[in-house]
Amino acid sequence: MVLKPTSCIAIVSSLGLSLGLFACSSEQINKPNASSSFASSDKNLSPNSGKSTAKRKLAAADGVDETQDPDDQAGDPQLDDGTAEVAAIIKSCGFPDGTLPDPKEIVFKKSMRSQQVTIKGTKPIDPSMVPPPPPIPIIGGIIGGITNRIVAILPPANYTAVVRATVNVAGSMSGATQSVRVGLEAFNVTVPGVSIPADAGRADAEREVAANNSDSSSAGPSEDEQSNLSSAPGPWKSVLCTITPTKTLTFSKGGKSKTVQFDTPIPGAIWAKATAARFKTEIGDGKTFDNITATVTSSNDAALPQGTKVKGRVTVTPISGDLPEIGVKADVAYAIRTDFGAQTVNLGLNPTQSFYVSTSNQDLRAVVIETGDAKIPRLVVAAGQ
């Protein structure tokens, strides 16, 4: 089972002139730093020229009329931290005072849980699961042999396991970390015609479940690349904050780890703080990101060795906001579908993640994850589960 993000499962990008943001609840966003601005990285420029450069890039990405540079309008206090247009865009992305936090400031920290998932199946009988026969006065070793012969003729055991995943995420405007921990909440096993303890084999089941635990860290593109993406023709054009771009991903699971770089960046998540109008402007009827190259830059996973390159595509499409199984009715919902062929899951990605957002509350209501794992194919992750 692979979880990505997120449930707040996903990847936060670096702050460029597009906002690489992460979906989190409104109560978990910190107040933006009033000193932050789009010109924070223009270290070699004067304050005014830095703000002007940043404003022009953002304005170009959003199609704002920039025939007159507002920096030339001396004395207007509204323009001290950028144009009114830029401030309005920042506000529509969920920052009410029109400025941005420091890129390294933690802007969210959240724990979410999945619904319970029931797994049923069969497995061969282990001799330790079968009670030994009554003591008989024969030499040692015979009893064990009898037990093994009994096991050999028994049908497979039927088991039922109930599992639940907990996802912990934390992130800034320049990166994110995520841990997924899967726990066994109930276990039962039966063998037709044989009386065995109901929890026989539970220790093995717990080890199998724990093998699905994973950790990841991610980052977005550089500021210059982010600016180019949002202003040049292509699917990222004018996408300023509603979709999180992912440039690099480090993913670890079951003792195997790899780092992957995406060219061009892939959509990692939906930012839940944006307004409904911002979503409509940036995503509209959907986006398709084609011809992406995933390059494995380091790995100890034989299934995906260092140097591996895989081509893929990602789509972002609007879906119904109704999720009746947990009583969610969101006014904005999008599915991110990721296809790198047979290597999708090995790369640390989920085939599909669906994000359910309440724009009135600026809150991520739920995430539904199609994991690509046969035993746990679908997870519904939300707060309060």
**What pLDDT shows up at residue 152?**
55
| Average pLDDT for 152-175 | 84
Q: Which residue has the higher pLDDT, 251 or 143?
A: 251
75-118 pLDDT, tens digit each: 334 444 457 888 899 899 988 888 887 878 887 777 889 999 99
**What pLDDT shows up at residue 194?**
79
Using DSSP, state whether 231 is helix, strand or coil. Answer: helix
Residue ranges per domain, the chain? 26-35+47-63+81-110+216-382, 117-210
Nearest to 350, CA basis, from 249, 256, 221: 249
Give phi and psi for 92, each to the nearest 5.
Answer: -70, -15
Evaluate if residue 181 carries a pLDDT over 60.
Answer: yes
Say how far apart CA 104 and CA 35 lie, in whole Å. Answer: 14
Evaluate if residue 183 carries a pLDDT over 90.
Answer: yes
Extract the tokens encoding 337: 């579908």
**What pLDDT shows up at residue 244?**
86
238-273 pLDDT, tens digit each: 998 899 889 999 999 999 999 999 999 999 889 888
pTM confidence score: 0.77
Q: Which residue has the higher pLDDT, 31 or 343?
A: 343
Nearest to 287, CA basis, from 228, 244, 344, 340: 244
Do the Cβ atoms of 84 and 70 come closer than 8 Å? yes
Evaluate if residue 144 carries a pLDDT over 70.
Answer: no
Contact partners, residue 316, CB within 8 Å, separation at least 6? 243, 267, 270, 283, 286, 287, 289, 334, 335, 336
Q: Which residue has the higher pLDDT, 58 or 51?
A: 58
**What pLDDT shows up at residue 334?**
98
Say how far apart CA 362 and CA 357 lie, in whole Å. Answer: 7
